Structure 1
Amino acid sequence: MPDLPALLARRAHLPAGGTTVYRAAHTTETGGLFALDLAGDAAVLSLYADLSAGEEARLAAACGALPGVAGVYLKRRPVEARHAANVAREQLSPPGPVWGDARPEVTALEAGVPFLIRPGGDLSIGLFSDARPLRAWVRAHVPEGGRVLNTFAYTCGFGLSAALGGAGTVKNVDLSRKVLAWGQENYALSGLPAPDSDFLYGDVFEWLGRLRKRGDRFDLVVLDPPSFARGKAGVWRVERDYARLAALAAVVTAPGGRVLAVTNHAGLSGAAFERMVAAGLAEAGRRGQLLTRLGAGEDYPGAVHLKAGVWALD
């Protein structure tokens, strides 16, 4: 068993600096067995190996013994979890805590910004904490008064960061009305207006085509798609389809604008990912320069799954 209190102590600077949603133990620190995330006083234990009921209970109790933890939620993450999530949701993500008190909703902070977290709602709890450095980049670099398009928005963390950074217009696009409404709740926590017109429900590819036809152009386009998804247009796979997505994004990026391209596909190398983005930009007839590479925060030591780059377009 890893020394959980020692791992938590290494992250003490995060809550001290106003971040209360973060990874307390990464898989590289637990032999690949589990990961532990904290969100306020809720702990989320993600298992990457099959354990007995007794082993699960003992591990949950050890997490619950950490200072400030009121309840522990369990996520079982077998390799096939992304495919099974819709048919075995309660098995993979039990809605109630496996230790301690229920925390159906928690308001946790990232660099002082509040986010609504639902520890028992799904395999995803409302914020991907590994992308914290990416959201910080958006907030620090969004053009004052600029236009931002946040695709695959989920609960709109990138969009909120852009709005807090001074963007004039932010459009969040997602195929789920539920997560867009969740995003509007996040905006409200920061006292920002969240008109329905800024939360676009529907397929991202269709919206990119629609925005192109309308002549809409954006100073920053955020691309953060899932690694794998099924939709009415077929199966999406990052390793096969990202260049096409980058091309569509380039068409709606204003001259001198930027594209933040992100993937969380662990099996895709950074070099291969960058080649796909470059190919997509070229397909759209745009020249792009890679300005900076970004990755997961320091609470994800040794992480290789998250890769991101900021591209400046001509």
Structure 2
Amino acid sequence: MPAELDRLLPRLADRRAHLAAAGTTFCRLAHTSETAGLFALDRAGRVGVLSLYADLSAGQEQLLAAACARLGLESVYLKRRPQEARHAANVERERLSPPQPIRGEVQEEVTVLESGVPYLIRPGPDLSIGLFGDARPAREWVRRHAPVGGRVLNTFAYTCGFGLNAALAGAQTVKNLDLSRKVLAWGQENYTLSGLPAPDHDFLYGDVFDWLGRLQKRGELFELVVLDPPSFARSKVGVWRSERDYARLLAQAAAVTAPGGQVLALCNHAGLSAGQFEKMLEAGAAQAGRRMNITDRFGAGEDYPGAGHLKVRALRLDPGG
């Protein structure tokens, strides 16, 4: 394994070298499609995040981390990703995502760039480190298409990457909505890195469906709504499954989307085909009485070859009738 990796990893890293020249220091150096499904390697500046999708011995993990470090990484953090991670991530957090690096010195926080925009990455204690690299094209889309002087709603905001790009593009009002106060505060730190104001009233804590209903009752409308839900989530109001509930989500989002406004809808459920996803979007628009036109279709970034899990659709919603 080490000899093969010593040939493979530098070649893969060379393919991504142009990203740094374009102002991107956060990328996937090796995707699972390039490693026979064994592992993936992400670069966050000078820190590597090694995700394992197979059980390896402690010695094999060390050899793999050493091979990764030879790409100029000062530290390598390990993420063990089980087939069924929802429960294990809660009860085995420290085993799945050790807070200490498997190689190199502790780096609790790293500031990275994506197309010149800085983001704060925390590579240690959680499986999620602050930014999902496969959504880079979607964040770039928001940067190009956010309404200048308009209003944007970023749901399931996580650390607010979409909202940040909308604000940088010139949107006048950007609301970031998430069920975790912790990640919203992280998002405010990302705003600060770009020199943007981050008032608390633009970072909404709570359930997305509850907030969409409240915003609708207030008569608030947005020229762009971003939908980036997890495949599965549990909250006080119930269980969310994207393969079952996405149509309902779009219907509620449509109710707060201005006439002729846009929705950027993301789905990362690998078991849901692109065709099935689009049918759910059509059903949601119909429920809301809106005419839907898909204006753009794309997926994960160039450093995710062969990845079909992420489906991104840009929609324009016109009044029905």
TM-score normalised by structure 2 residue count? 0.96
Q: What corresponds to 2:32 in structure 1?
A: 27
Equivalent AA in structure 2 for residue 264 of structure 1: N
1-structure distance, mates of 2:229, 2:63? 36
Gap runs ≥5 in structure 2:
none
2:104 to 97, 100, 103: 100
Where 1:131 maps in the other structure, the secondary structure is: helix
1-structure distance, mates of 2:181, 2:238? 20
Where 1:86 maps in the other structure, the secondary structure is: helix
Q: What corresponds to 1:251 in structure 2?
A: 255
Q: What corresponds to 1:59 in structure 2?
A: 64
Give 1:279 deviation, angstroms.
0.4
Structure 1 position 310 matched with structure 2 position 314: yes
1:82 to 74, 79, 86: 86
Equivalent AA in structure 2 for residue 225 of structure 1: P
2-structure distance, mates of 1:210, 1:190? 30
Structure 1 position 235 matched with structure 2 position 248: no
Give 1:83 deviation, angstroms.
2.3
User: Cα deviations across residues 55-78 of structure 1 (Å, max 9, x unaligned)?
Assistant: 1111011111112x1100000001
Equivalent AA in structure 2 for residue 113 of structure 1: V
Contact 2:94 2:125 in 1 (8 A): no
Equivalent AA in structure 1 for residue 245 of structure 2: D
2-structure distance, mates of 1:58, 1:228? 34
2-structure distance, mates of 1:283, 1:219? 20
1:114-263 alignment, distance < 5 Å: 114-263=118-267
Which aligned runs of 4 or more in structure 1 are off by greater than 2 angstroms?
Answer: none
Contact 1:81 1:92 in 2 (8 A): no
Contact 1:292 1:310 in 2 (8 A): yes
2-structure distance, mates of 1:116, 1:249? 29
Contact 2:75 2:103 in 1 (8 A): yes
User: Cα deviations across residues 215-236 of structure 1 (Å, max 9, x unaligned)?
Assistant: 0000000000000111122221
Q: Percent of aligned positions with the same letter in both sequences?
A: 73
Equivalent AA in structure 2 for residue 268 of structure 1: L
Give 1:82 deviation, angstroms.
2.3
2-structure distance, mates of 1:238, 1:99? 37
1-structure distance, mates of 2:87, 2:264? 27
2-structure distance, mates of 1:289, 1:53? 51
Give 1:86 deviation, angstroms.
1.2
Gap runs ≥5 in structure 1:
none
2-structure distance, mates of 1:222, 1:188? 21
Give 1:211 deviation, angstroms.
0.3
1:38 to 38, 43, 54: 43
Q: What corresponds to 2:15 in structure 1?
A: 10
Where 2:290 maps in the other structure, the secondary structure is: coil
2-structure distance, mates of 1:269, 1:263? 10
Equivalent AA in structure 1 for residue 282 of structure 2: A
Give 1:87 deviation, angstroms.
1.2
Contact 1:96 1:102 in 2 (8 A): yes
Range that drifts further, 275-284 or 228-237: 228-237
1-structure distance, mates of 2:77, 2:316? 41
Give 1:159 deviation, angstroms.
0.2
Equivalent AA in structure 2 for residue 122 of structure 1: D
1-structure distance, mates of 2:265, 2:11? 34
Where 1:46 maps in the other structure, the secondary structure is: strand
Give 1:101 deviation, angstroms.
1.1
TM-score normalised by structure 1 residue count? 0.99
Q: RMSD in angstroms over aligned alpha carbons?
A: 0.7
2-structure distance, mates of 1:277, 1:146? 24
2-structure distance, mates of 1:177, 1:236? 19
Where 1:292 maps in the other structure, the secondary structure is: strand
Where 1:31 maps in the other structure, the secondary structure is: coil
